[in-house]
Amino acid sequence: MNKQTIRDIDWSGKRALVRVDFNVPLDKDGNITDDTRIRASLPTIRYLLENGASVVLMSHLGRPKKKVVESMRLRPAAERLFELLPEAQEVKKTEVTTGPAAEAAAESLKPGQVLLLENTRFDPREEANDPEMAQELAKLGDVFVNDAFGSAHRAHASTEGVAHHLPAVAGFLMEAELNALMGALEHPQQPFVTIIGGAKISDKIGVIENLLPKVNALIIGGGMANTFLLAQGYALGDSLVETESLDLARSLIEKASAANVKLLLPTDAVIADAFSADAQQQVVAVDSVPDGWRILDIGPETIKLYQEALEGAKLVIWNGPMGVFEMEPFAKGTRSIAQVLADAASTNAMTIVGGGDSVAAVEQAGLADKISHISTGGGASLELLEGKVLPGVAILRDK
């Protein structure tokens, strides 16, 4: 990675202003139901504390729509952080994000101490990337650390604006994400196979177009495979299709063939007579989907075909489930691919999974720790795979 990280700074006596992603799910009583994101920030915070810094943290939580929403305060996150980080003698928490009270709290910090500011999105200026808010934030630290990869595709005051006023470097989570995703794309090991699925072709067009010239094989599954099948003339009953993307599907098929990229589409499917877990279901070839039925997963023959295409791959990037995995009867295709990636990773291949639902599916299958890299940023990882420059990364100091 060509960006400076927290290793490039002498932290002794400095105050680090760290953008983290504490956007954790809360139940209706305000209890954190999954603290993965808080845990993911610990290596960076620990490193800063161990190297003599004090730490001011900022994050958004939920979508408070530019005003204070009591249920979206970061108090529970501060409490959980303290449980996870007992070596900080205390995790202070302000009820404001910027201004005199935040400045006083930040200035009172001694090396080894941690302060969490209030939800950045309570301030209407955050999402507008308002330069005044950025300046107010910058008063709270000596060096800006961006460790919120999942928010790096947004140019907000706390992710981008603030970096115009302070030296800015990457935290460890940010570094790991960039190393994995950008590293893979800059120097892809061959054979390089990409698996794209999910609901809609229109969501993934940027990813497909960016990866197509780099891959040896492109595997398509999920609802978006339907539009490719339709483009080839198959009748698909009530399956989800995007008729407005038919030309796009055709042009991608042509591009793949011109670039000598093997494009794999499902040959059979699990179909159901309703969009429901207890609908009637059967496995059919893709040329035999009856009227009134819909494709909800790839079939066993397709799973085998995809397994074979992944054999020997040195780099695999996967985004988008193979079927409606949220319903048990249609989860098999997605789970089988997750297993293939887990096995491939154990035989020396680099396997990367990105995308909110894909990551959820891998976690549901209990295979997350067997994948080389699970990207924590849904939208941000997609934009990186699209070849875009993320504003929260662009502003970091170059090496």
What positions carry a catalytic annotation? Answer: 37, 200, 356, 379
Least distance to ligand ADP, CB of residue 236, Å: 10
d(CA 17, CA 106): 9
Q: Closest-CB residue for ligand ADP? A: 198
* Residue 324 binding: pick among ligand ADP, Mg ion, none (C-beta 5-8 Å cut-off by kind): ligand ADP
Dihedral (Cα; 40, 45, 50, 52), 10-degree rounding: 170
From residue 325 to residue 364, the character string flagging contacts with Mg ion as x (rule: CB under 5 A) and all else as - is -------------------------------xx-------
* Residue 150 binding: pick among Mg ion, ligand ADP, none (C-beta 5-8 Å cut-off by kind): none
Least distance to ligand ADP, CB of residue 67, Å: 29
Least distance to ligand ADP, CB of residue 296, Å: 5
Strand pairing report for 217-220 and 315-319: unpaired
d(CA 153, CA 395): 12
Q: What are phi and psi of 373, to 5 degrees?
A: -145, 125
* Residue 118 binding: pick among Mg ion, ligand ADP, none (C-beta 5-8 Å cut-off by kind): none
d(CA 145, CA 123): 20
Q: Closest-CB residue for Mg ion? A: 357
Contact residues toward ligand ADP (CB under 6 A) are 198-199, 203, 222-223, 240, 295-296, 319-321, 323-324, 326, 355-358, 378
Least distance to ligand ADP, CB of residue 379, Å: 9
| Spatial CA neighbour of 17 closest among 147, 198, 200 | 147
* Residue 295 binding: pick among ligand ADP, Mg ion, none (C-beta 5-8 Å cut-off by kind): ligand ADP
Q: Which is nearer to ligand ADP, 41 or 375 (CB)?
A: 375
Residues that bind Mg ion (CB under 5 A): 356-357
